[in-house]
Amino acid sequence: MPNDEETKGKVFQILKTAKFKKTDTEKSKLRNNPEVSQTIIGNNNILAGRDVILTEKISKKVVAEIKPGIEHITDKEAATLLDKIKEITKIHNLVKRNQVTPQRYWTSLNRYCGVPRYRLIKTEDFDKALRWCNQQLAILSGTKAAQKKDPVMIRNRQISFIQVNIKKLAIDGNYHNYLKNTFRKISTAELDTIELKKAYNWVATQKKRQD
């Protein structure tokens, strides 16, 4: 008969073996469910376990620096272009069926000057941008629809164009000789609608030659 000490030793050994022994079912669970690990790799990417990947892409937006008066147009020149585009849009919507926003003409002007934004127009390209705006105004103002729908606005714009450019081009004398010889009149204010349009076109032609 085994004594008490032998019995206790056998029980202890059985319990110790049972504690560390795993059944086939338990081993299978461990093989099929390994521990989940996380590893950070690359561009803030996280690998979770073996089949889940979370990716976060980091991108930086590069913004061009505006240098008014040094590389790009000044604030005053920018304001001039703003006024021109507003005027172009106003006349367009007056004489055209398709209504547009100023963005339509900004896009065209920016493309013409080779920039993504008007504030990035180069200092040396301001006159180029202004000429483009004046060309659009001349085209729109010269339509019959413009004369019919708002003759006062168109007349005032044409007179303003003439006054500004005869001084800028230093052709005051030639212009007044043109009025006298062509219409027998001495001032722009005396011209009727048809005569004013001819005078406007005459000044625009002189401007184009000097440009």
pLDDT digits (tens, 9 = 90+) for 8-60: 556 556 555 555 455 555 555 555 555 545 544 455 555 555 555 555 565 66
Q: How far apart are CA 197 and CA 195, in angstroms?
A: 5
Q: Regarding beta strands 52-54 and 45-48, do their DSSP bridges make them parallel or antiparallel, or are they unpaired?
A: antiparallel
Smallest CA-to-CA distance from 73 within 140, 123, 129, 27 is with 123
Mean per-residue pLDDT for 148-164? 86
Residue-wise pLDDT tens digits, 96-112: 889 999 999 999 999 99
Q: How far apart are CA 87 and CA 76, in angstroms?
A: 17
Give the residue, 43 or 122, on which the prediction is more confident: 122
Strand partners, 55: none
pLDDT at 41: 47
Q: How far apart are CA 170 and CA 147, in angstroms?
A: 29
Residue 153 has pLDDT above 70, yes or no: yes
Q: Three-state SS for 99?
A: coil
Residue 160 has pLDDT above 50, yes or no: yes
pTM exceeds cut of 0.75: no
Q: Do residues 158 and 143 make contact, with C-beta atoms less than 8 angstroms apart?
A: no
Average pLDDT, the chain: 80
